[in-house]
Amino acid sequence: MSNYKLDTICVQGGYKPENGEARTLPIYQSTTYKYDSADHLGDLFDLKADGHMYSRISNPTLACVEAKIAEMEGGVGAMLVSSGQAANLTAVLNITSAGQNIISLASIYGGTVNLFAVTLKKMGIEVRFATPDMTDEEIEAMMDENTRLLFGETVANPALVVFDIERYAKLAHKHDMPLVVDNTFATPVLCRPFEYGCDIVTHSTTKYMDGHATVVGGCIVDSGKFDWSVGGRYPELTTPDESYHGVVYTESFGPAAYVTKARVQMLRDMGNTMSPMAAFLLNLGLETLHLRVKRHCENAQRIAEWLSQNDKVAWVNYSGLPDNPYHALAQKYMPGGSCGVISFGLVGGRSAAELNTGLANLIQSGLNRLFGAGQSILGILVCHLVELAGALFRLGHDLAGLFLGRIEHLAVGNLGAGLQLCLTHHALHISFRILHELLAGSQQLLRTLDFHGDLCAQFIQQIQHLIALQNALLCTKRQTPGILNHFI
């Protein structure tokens, strides 16, 4: 464990190149590895030597990313898997068998609820769901000698309930069981659950850790602090494993017993392995995690504050708001922000939301036909207008200033105003090109966008100015039209 700050660990952690080696983490796209002797390979299979025997169990690329995440969380070891669902499933099955049970907070990700309530039930494992408002005594009444762990999410997806880690850690440890926390939404940038008594952390690395919507993945991190030998409750870790020639994980691997068993037994047998290429892409995301998450939180806070003052919004759920019921817990565990997700409801309830959703889907459908895929809210529009203005300025046309003032309120620095445009116009995923097409020959579709009032008139007027400007320039003998057509 280094003494680096988290920002540095995100960039430099895990991979440690030596003299003359590749500066960037290599992709070891290999299933197997070469060794000089059968004895060495035998020691690997008997878990007596360090190294990689088969990429279903471990791989050099994955090992570097695992080391980085373990260091970020402050754990003794980590194991990457194929998805967040695989991480939570493996975390449970590593110490839970048919006929036993676990306790989970009900305010967790819906996919995990299905995994626990449906799939684990088919495997003979009962999941008893507790609500955040239940007292310690009520939760203790749900426990028995077969209860194996207590599970929760740092910030529930999408309910945004903040998990009181210290409270539930004390409750679990009182009954000699570990606390498992899914830290997907917070990430170690905002919260390190081990510092508050948590024993095992899981992640869906698909979300913030990847950050680019490129690779699905999951991770389990072991704090190394839980005493698995207390009370003889976890024989799978403290007695011989016959599938590995009688190895006792707590004796052979000490603080890393849990994550080692998860790797060499569960991952070996279930095969929910992350690929080397996926781990490489994940590592790229981790290198900017400390920058992205902070900005997500800043933006979410500003939007939540703006929404709470908007007369079209009935309610806003975000723990960064002082009147939120989880604000105090968020300040305790995540003083730098809780996440970038906000939930809110519109005045008029479901019918109003359905109206907005229907219009947004219509626009999205049109964009998909024109561009092949939708992009960020108003992002294409702003980019095209700004790029066009820049081209005109470079050509010395002062007319570009006619519309620049009209789009400056869409700048990233004014998120509230940008969202106002979205809410007022119901105009999600609009680009300059589609508006040009609409104004040129599709007035009916333009009316379906349901523009309102002065903003509508100003917006359409500026687009018409652009079309007129283009037409005027097309009449000249300059090369300007080619540049304009590039942007339009």
Q: How many CB atoms lie within 10 A of CB 20?
A: 5
**pLDDT for res 348:** 86
Alpha-carbon gap, residue 86 to 93, rounded angstroms? 10
3-state SS assignment for residue 148: strand
Residue 433 CA, distance from chain mean position = 32
**pLDDT for res 457:** 53
- Averaged pLDDT score across all residues of the chain: 81
pLDDT above 70 covers a percentage of the chain that reads: 72
- Give the predicted TM-score (pTM) of the model: 0.77
Strand order in the sheet with 218-222: 77-81, 218-222, 200-204, 179-182, 147-153, 101-105, 126-130
CA of 211: how far to CAs of 21, 206, 288, 338, 366, in Å?
Answer: 28, 7, 9, 16, 27
Taking alpha carbons only, the member of 63, 102, 104 closest to residue 80 is 63
What mean pLDDT comes out for the span 55-78? 97
Alpha-carbon gap, residue 134 to 167, rounded angstroms? 12
Taking alpha carbons only, the member of 385, 368, 455, 379 closest to residue 420 is 455
Q: Whose structure tokens read 């106002």?
A: 420
What mean pLDDT comes out for the span 390-396? 40
Alpha-carbon gap, residue 210 to 217, rounded angstroms? 8
For the stretch 184-222, pLDDT in tens is 999 999 999 999 999 999 999 999 999 999 999 999 999
Alpha-carbon gap, residue 36 to 10, rounded angstroms? 35
Alpha-carbon gap, residue 418 to 422, rounded angstroms? 7
| Single-letter residue type at 468 | A
**39-53, 232-246, 414-428: which has the minimum mean pLDDT?**
414-428
Q: Identify each DSSP E strand in 302-455 by its residue range.
A: 313-317, 343-346
pLDDT band at residue 44 using 50, 70 and 90 as cut-offs: confident
User: What does the CA dihedral 11, 16, 17, 23 come to, rounded to 10 degrees?
Assistant: -10
What mean pLDDT comes out for the span 293-316? 93
Interior angle at CA 41, CA 39 and CA 43, nearest 5: 70
**pLDDT for res 264:** 95
**pLDDT for res 355:** 67
Q: Domains of the chain: which residue ranges?
A: 6-286, 349-487
**pLDDT for res 42:** 86
For the stretch 399-453, pLDDT in tens is 333 333 333 333 334 445 444 544 444 333 333 444 444 444 434 434 444 444 4
**pLDDT for res 362:** 52
What mean pLDDT comes out for the span 315-323? 96
Q: Are 221 and 78 in contact (CB under 8 A)?
A: yes
**16-20, 44-48, 66-70, 286-290: which has the minimum mean pLDDT?**
44-48
CATH code that applies to domain 6-286? 3.40.640.10
Alpha-carbon gap, residue 357 to 70, rounded angstroms? 41
Q: Whose structure tokens read 């005109």?
A: 392
Q: Are 231 and 176 in contact (CB under 8 A)?
A: yes
Q: How many CB atoms lie within 10 A of CB 255?
A: 18
For the stretch 114-136, pLDDT in tens is 999 999 999 999 999 999 999 99
